[in-house]
Amino acid sequence: MCIGRRTIRRTGAGALFLATVAVALAAVGCGKQQEKVASTSTTGEALAAAVETPRPQAAVTADATLAAATPAVLGEETVSSDSLPPDVSATIVNLETVPGGIIEIAAQGSPDVESITLSDGRGKAQAFVYDTTAKAWRVLYRVPLKAKEGLGLSITAKNTGNRWKRVWVFPKLGQEEAPADSLPK
């Protein structure tokens, strides 16, 4: 059974035409979204009309992110401050230490911070204590004996709305000098 060249050309051209039409229809349909636009008349009545406007997907994502980050006004009320994560910054008081040494970490938090915890990823979390005289959160941490350079400590602040923010601090580890009497002779 032999298929002629003319039949193959017609079939190939038809398939190419259908593929082009399908891509064109998909492109025309993409990027259009329904938006509701509210306008107020002089009598104060709100009218809602559906308006079809083409918008790129990136703009929709940016608008959604901005809307989620901005507190919305609902009538006379605003979204509570508990819906926002707290702010926190932390510093190591004595930055340089040796394995087995103790470092002090101080943290400043926004007024809505309820608790701050420290974690090194090796054990359970350690809670900070609020120092009312210094108006700062503080904790002592013992650097593990087998700690290596690049040790990272995470500090996580939480508020009453169970929102949180995490920051990292990195102590500088030096080498501990051996006592003079323990050196081999």
Rounded to whole angstroms, the Cα distance separating 184 from 145 reads 22
Q: How confident is the model at residue 122 (pLDDT cuts 50, 70, 90)?
A: confident
Say what the pLDDT of residue 53 is: 35
User: Total structural domains in the chain?
Assistant: 1
Is 19 a domain residue? no
Q: Is residue 123 part of a domain?
A: yes
What is the rounded average pLDDT of the residues 64-71? 51
- pLDDT tens for residues 52-62? 334 344 444 44
pTM of the model: 0.53
Compute the distance between CA of residue 129 and CA of residue 105 in angstroms, rounded to an integer.
Answer: 11
155 touches 137 (CB < 8 A):
no
Residue 109 three-state SS:
strand
Give 120 or 21, the one with higher predicted confidence: 120
The answer to whether residue 126 sits within a structural domain is yes
Residue 77 lies in a domain: no
Assess if residue 65 is contained within a domain.
no
Please report whether residue 141 resides in a domain. Answer: yes
Cα→Cα distances 185→28, 175, 177, 180, 182, Å: 85, 21, 16, 10, 9
In a domain, 135, yes or no: yes
Task: Return mean pLDDT, the chain.
Answer: 72
Q: How does 94-111 read in b/e, with b if 16+ C-beta sit within 10 Å? A: eeebebebebebbbbbee
Would you call 182 helix, strand, or coil by DSSP?
helix
pLDDT band at 149 (very low <50, low <70, confident <90, very high): confident
CATH number for the domain that contains residue 169: 2.60.40.1930
